[in-house]
Structure 1
Amino acid sequence: MTRAELFSQIKKKSSFLCVGLDADIAKIPAHLKTEKDPIYSFCKAVIEETADYAVAYKPNIAFFEALGPQGWETLQKVLEIIPQEIFTIADAKRGDIGNTSKLYAKAFFEKMDFDSVTVAPYMGADSVTPFLEFADKWVILLALTSNIGSMDFQLIKDENGKPLYQTVLEKSQDWGTPENLMYVVGATRGELIAEVRQAVPDHFFLVPGVGAQGGSLDEVAKYGMNSSCGLLVNSSRGIIYASGERDFAKAARNEAEKLQKEMKVLLDRHL
């Protein structure tokens, strides 16, 4: 998917919502667990009810990998029922030496046909650039994440006082462009989003941490939105586990609609 196509969907739906498919077999409603493929049934119902409001879906690969070979088959089936115009993110956080990264890229871009994959930058250019060789595919690079442990490395400053995440932002712009490179920027770091936006004014951000993790959608838009929106705000637990009962899909729809309405106001205000 191209940047123009993604922005077109954002304008069409008045939404920059990404629904995270963190499909935990231990958390899905009990009545689904008797089905042949309970994770697929769960994701299918969520997708059908939220597709009107979402511009992206982000399957967390770990929840599928943990199920073994069946999990990979389920992931492929889930990917195939996501509407073609909706952006897809393989939340895999890959990052290895070049020849291995190239095979990861082939797996997610050629074999499974995801639009994007999350990638860790720690091993440098040769671990990231193989993912950038595919037309109309995206790398979503971990920059400033919302987990507590992010402070262990990402905020370490060099002798000039520059935090490591800023070095990642600067260096990675030599590898990709706003047409194929996004950044993960956590919503719980609201005070730093403006600094990230200043460093990479034209790139899209994938923003986790809104909702269950306490991030503010207003702050994310205030400090992170650019002229083409530039944001995909992810909500996982707050949507897909809004109910643990038989009405889980309707509850997910209601939560997605609430976020979309807030996003419409913010888009109208900032664009």
Structure 2
Amino acid sequence: MTTQELVYQIKKKNSFLCIGLDVDLNKIPKHILEEEDPIFTFNKAIIDATHHLCVAYKPNTAFYEAYGLKGWKALEKTINYLNIKHPEIFTIADAKRGDIGNTSSMYAKAFFEDLAFDSVTVAPYMGKDSVEPFLAFQDKHTIMLALTSNQGAFDFQTKIVDDKELYKQVLETSKTWTNSEQLMYVVGATKAEYLADIRQIIPEAFLLVPGVGAQGGNLQDVCKYGMTDSVGLLINSSRGIIYASPNEDFAQAAAIKAQELQKQMSIILNSYTAHVSESHHETPRPTQ
């Protein structure tokens, strides 16, 4: 999927919501455990109930790998279902891979060719030869960890090195890599105050923003500092949506939670569009 196709879907649906499919068998409704493939059964129900409200789905691969072959098969069935039933939806393999070049090439092949995801998350600690193999795939996107929402982010990412925070140096360096226009970046919603500085370095790149909802991130703040003329944001919510109910109405409850976020996003998008129009294509941020 191209960036232009993603932007089209955002405008069509008035949504930049990404739903995280992080399936924990200890948390899904008990009656689903009786199914032959409870993970896929759960995912299918969530997708069927919410696909019109979001533009992306993000399975975290750890939640599938933890269940061995059955988990990986459920992941495969989930991505196949999405690609066949809803090819307009952007898919993200949240795998956080990052290794030496030939290993990264195999990771890229696994997620882009075998599973046919549109994108995959990567860790940049090993530098360009661990990321560029992912960028070699046309019309695929590599989503690089930039500034994460966990407490440990302060261990390294915000440390000052040569008078500049390390995460800023990582962002600047990534722009020099081959096919860097295919990069997207992970920025945690709980770091919304950093977004203004981040946009100075990568003004147009799409940002995948986890942490809205259960982790306490604020949607309005993220949009105020991070939104671009092409929106440039994918806001992820996982637990707050998929575990909205432990009962048989779980899919309907998930749809209600997703719709709440989608409505907020629609208001923000309409506000932003109105302000841009009034200011003759300048780039003010949406009002809160």
TM-score for both structures, normalised by structure 2: 0.92
Cα contact 1:205–1:230 (8 A) shared by 2: yes
> Structure 2: which amino acid aligns with 1:109?
F
Distance 2:209 2:161 in 1: 26
Contact 1:92–1:117 (CA under 8 A) maintained in structure 2? yes
2:151 is aligned, of 127, 145, 148, to 148
Q: Which residue identity does 1:164 align to in structure 2?
A: L
Give the aligned partner of residue 18 of structure 1: 18
Using the TM superposition, give the Cα deviation of residue 270 of structure 1 relative to its aligned residue in structure 2, in angstroms: 1.6
Aligned residue in 2 for 1:42: 42
Counterpart residue type for residue 223 of structure 1: Y
Q: Does 1:99 align with 2:102?
A: yes
Tell me the secondary structure at the aligned position of residue 168 of structure 1: helix
4+ residue runs over 6 A deviation = none
Are the counterparts in 1 of residues 135 and 179 from structure 2 also a CA contact under 8 Å?
no
* Mapped contact 2:174–2:180 kept (Cα < 8 A): no
Aligned to 1:266: 268
SS in structure 1 of the partner of residue 235 of structure 2: strand
Secondary structure, aligned partner of 2:160: coil
Q: Give the superposition deviation at 1:179.
A: 4.2
Equivalent residue number for residue 120 of structure 1:
123
Contact 1:56 1:87 in 2 (8 A): yes
C-alpha displacement at 1:199, in angstroms? 1.1
Residue 256 (structure 1) aligns with: 258
Question: Which stretch shifts more, 13-22 or 176-185?
Answer: 176-185
Q: Which amino acid aligns with 2:267?
A: V
- 1:86 matched to 2:89: yes
- 5 Å-filtered alignment, 1:105-254, equals 105-160=108-163, 162-175=164-177, 179-254=181-256
Displacement of 1:80: 1.3
Contact 1:23 1:63 in 2 (8 A): yes
In structure 2, C-alpha distance between the alignment counterparts of 1:179 and 1:40, rounded to whole Å: 33
Q: Using the alignment, how far apart are the partners of 1:35 and 1:195 within structure 2?
A: 48
Query: How many Å separate the matches in 1 of 2:181 and 2:171?
Result: 15
Contact 2:135 2:180 in 1 (8 A): no
Q: 2:53·2:258 contact (CA, 8 Å) conserved in 1?
A: yes
Contact 2:95–2:122 (8 Å) recurs in 1: yes
Provide the secondary structure at the position in 2 that maps to 1:245. Answer: coil
Identity of aligned residues (%): 61
CA-atom RMSD, angstroms? 0.9
How many residues in Structure 1 have an aligned counterpart in Structure 2?
A: 270
Conserved 8 A contact 1:37-1:74:
yes
User: Which residue number corresponds to residue 67 of structure 2?
Assistant: 67
* Distance in 2 between residues matched to 1:88 and 1:178, nearest whole Å: 19
Residue of structure 1 in register with 2:4 after alignment: 4
Structure 1 SS opposite 2:55: strand
Residues 207 and 231 in structure 1, CA contact (< 8 A), matched pair in contact too: yes
Shift in Å, 1:159: 2.7
The letter of the residue matching 2:76 is: Q
Gaps of 5+ in 1: none
AA partner of residue 115 (structure 1): D
Q: For 1:132-176, what per-residue CA distance to the aligned partner results, in whole angstroms no more than 9, with x for missing partners?
A: 00010000000000011111110111132x111001100001125
